[in-house]
Homo-oligomer: A and B are copies of this chain.
């Protein structure tokens, strides 16, 4: 059945990290209402199946093509949900969809488009640790697919001098295993070696793992694409506990 007589809707939906307990109620509703679920295959697989719904799973690194497909379906009058892990607005699908709109069919601008935010990996990791993002922080993608490494290196250097807590997304991949080592080499020149560093792996999933270490001791070779890397600011503190991981928080006061 073609539905060209009514205006479609495109929802860009944040699934949060791994577990369904992070879903917001508006995200849950949008997933149930959608005629098409569009996304990177592992995210589509996390959406509970609804009868009558079509699932269009695609590979990584085809964000613009995926966004265009979703926009075409919405323009045909369907309710479409583009799904992202975490928050679609933070290193996920929302920027790709608006880039596709900016450079695509002018009629797409009149579609009913909504972004439904989700819990991002840094928030879930921070919550499991204590409050490491408790003061001024920055969020940087270490991927040099779309920007030169020099831009990233300059940003890391300035972030270190600004005494931000840092959260790194896309810290390593098989295609560029060296970048996380480059980043640590740079930070070791800029910051004291006792700065707290956390590698949070697969947060919100069964295989979740935390490594709490220091800048001097950290082994960046354990970092993979499922790792969220946190670099503590000068105000970061550990609260030791008997038989449990220490809490990590950042003081609200300037050190």
Contacts and interface: CB of A to CB of B under 8 A. Distances in A.
Interface of A: 16, 20-26, 28, 87-91, 94-99, 101-102, 109-110, 113-120, 123-124, 126-128, 130-141, 146-148, 151, 154-155, 158-159, 161-164, 237, 239-242, 247, 249-254
B249 A99 contact: yes
Given A102-B247, A115-B127, 15 more contacts: A94-B127, A95-B131, A95-B251, A101-B247, A102-B239, A117-B126, A119-B119, A120-B123, A137-B138, A138-B162, A139-B139, A147-B253, A148-B254, A151-B254, A158-B161
Q: Which 5 A-B pairs have the closest CB atoms?
A: A95-B134, A147-B254, A98-B249, A94-B131, A115-B127
A156 to B, nearest CB: 9
A190 to B, nearest CB: 12
A89 B126 contact: yes
Nearest to A159: B162
29 contacts: A23-B25, A24-B119, A25-B25, A87-B119, A88-B127, A89-B133, A89-B134, A91-B134, A94-B126, A95-B131, A95-B250, A95-B252, A99-B249, A99-B251, A102-B239, A102-B247, A109-B241, A116-B127, A117-B123, A117-B124, A120-B123, A136-B138, A138-B164, A146-B252, A147-B254, A155-B164, A158-B158, A159-B162, A162-B162
